[in-house]
Structure 1
């Protein structure tokens, strides 16, 4: 957990880092962490990290071992997360490998502070980490990106940007890779996300995906509190 420790030290020691915490959150990779045995309920009293398959869905969950975080795998495409305190966490359900499909979701999302409700995924060749943000808390995560433009999908405008992550943890170990963001203007807690529309728009901005690895509808949180109950289909 060298990365997380260094991030926390930077946040505690520099006000500039406190003003932009999601920039560091973006460096977290679920799959790069050491797994523990799968369970229906993962309660943080150490550093939980689990991924696998349940009821036809792929799930993955990671947290840094600080604060209080509970992740519960429900039936089918449902899951729940509660979190509070000085924690970094990300988890959700989806597919592995991902694909250009439609995500249908409903979420009871309550947040006090910095968190994101999003599609989260990776590709290889090229190595890309991507997010389609449907809702967020106190901080707009798209602020970390170099803006490439805007496009319309699923009834709203999305702002598209990218960031180059240098020598950061990834699904292939420590690598330099592109991070792509699409942030929805009109926040929502339920709806349909047409991934093909986003992927096609990214191509127009010369943002290229590779071969799909895992793909989640996820909750990502950093130094905040809240709860989410998600059903995905």
Structure 2
């Protein structure tokens, strides 16, 4: 079991002043070198702290489990997942308890920007200061999709789940394909350094215990890089039952849902996933 703690005490914290969880997104700095990362029990883990204030303790558990405790932090991210970003179907379970703002998300990072599929959060919705890119329905809920510019051309893609949860399944391909269809910033996968289920605290205190795994039959093939994917057109003729809506799944290995599109055309992204575009 690996555990480490970072402690930063700033004058503002000593005076009892903590960064506001509703601060403008532009106030967050670009992420850079992590405090720690590596592999643990077959999973990649990553921990980053901005070093501005507070105490954060991260602990790796068995298999895909991790826990993190934080007090009066400026900003940190921590979690487990994979060292390469792919259109995985990801299972996660656990709990988060926080006073102030936090994010629980499938998270990828690159020098070009970040992608958040946000499953649970505290007092601040990041899309409130972003550019709306519509609504995506996936995994039993609508997601508010937006683009946030952190400054210096460092951009974030966000999917903010309307029905918050701390356990469930995320079909990441639905989100990555939607971002590309909307022309949102960089390719979500080609430059990503890692893909984790991240707990993040921002101007807050709290604790979380999360377990991560990849769903059986999930697609981990290469996609999204330059010259690394192909797209072909599949039949969109109506079948029995309700057809999928635009950007919804309409086919793939093991798929038992609709195989027709109410609008658009069912396009094959790979053997596991086809989408109405």
TM-score range normalised by the length of the shorter chain: 0.7 to 0.9
- The CA distance in 1 between the partners of 2:109 and 2:73, in whole Å, is 26
Corresponding position of 1:183: 160
Secondary structure in 2 matching 1:87:
strand
Q: 1:150, 1:159 within 8 Å by CA — same for their partners in 2?
A: yes
**Highest RCO, 1 vs 2 (Cα 8 Å, sep ≥ 6):** 1
Q: 2:21, 2:203 within 8 Å by CA — same for their partners in 1?
A: no
Q: 1:25, 1:222 within 8 Å by CA — same for their partners in 2?
A: no
The CA deviation string for residues 165-198 of structure 1, in whole angstroms up to 9 with x for no partner, is 333xxxxxxxx33211110000001000000011
TM-score normalised by L of structure 2 = 0.64
Corresponding position of 2:64: 77
Structure with greater helix share of residues: 1
Q: How much does 1:19 deviate?
A: 6.7
Structure with greater strand share of residues: 1
- The CA distance in 2 between the partners of 1:81 and 1:144, in whole Å, is 28
Q: Does 1:194 align with 2:185?
A: no
Q: 2:57, 2:69 within 8 Å by CA — same for their partners in 1?
A: yes
Instruction: Report matched runs for 1:1-233 at 5 Å.
Output: 18=20, 20-21=22-23, 23-24=25-26, 26-29=28-31, 32-33=32-33, 49-65=35-51, 66-123=53-110, 127-167=112-152, 176-207=153-184, 208-209=186-187, 210-211=189-190, 212-233=192-213
Secondary structure in 2 matching 1:187:
coil
CA RMSD of aligned residues (A): 2.4
Q: 1:50, 1:60 within 8 Å by CA — same for their partners in 2?
A: yes
The count of aligned residue pairs is 195
Structure 1 unaligned regions, length at least 5: 1-7, 36-48, 168-175
Corresponding position of 1:38: none
- The CA distance in 2 between the partners of 1:107 and 1:85, in whole Å, is 22
TM-score normalised by L of structure 1 = 0.76
Q: 1:158, 1:185 within 8 Å by CA — same for their partners in 2?
A: yes
The CA deviation string for residues 74-105 of structure 1, in whole angstroms up to 9 with x for no partner, is 11111000111143211111111110001100
Q: 1:68, 1:87 within 8 Å by CA — same for their partners in 2?
A: no
Q: 2:21, 2:123 within 8 Å by CA — same for their partners in 1?
A: no
Secondary structure in 2 matching 1:99:
coil
Structure 2 unaligned regions, length at least 5: 1-10, 214-277
The CA deviation string for residues 117-154 of structure 1, in whole angstroms up to 9 with x for no partner, is 11110356xx2311110000111122231111001000
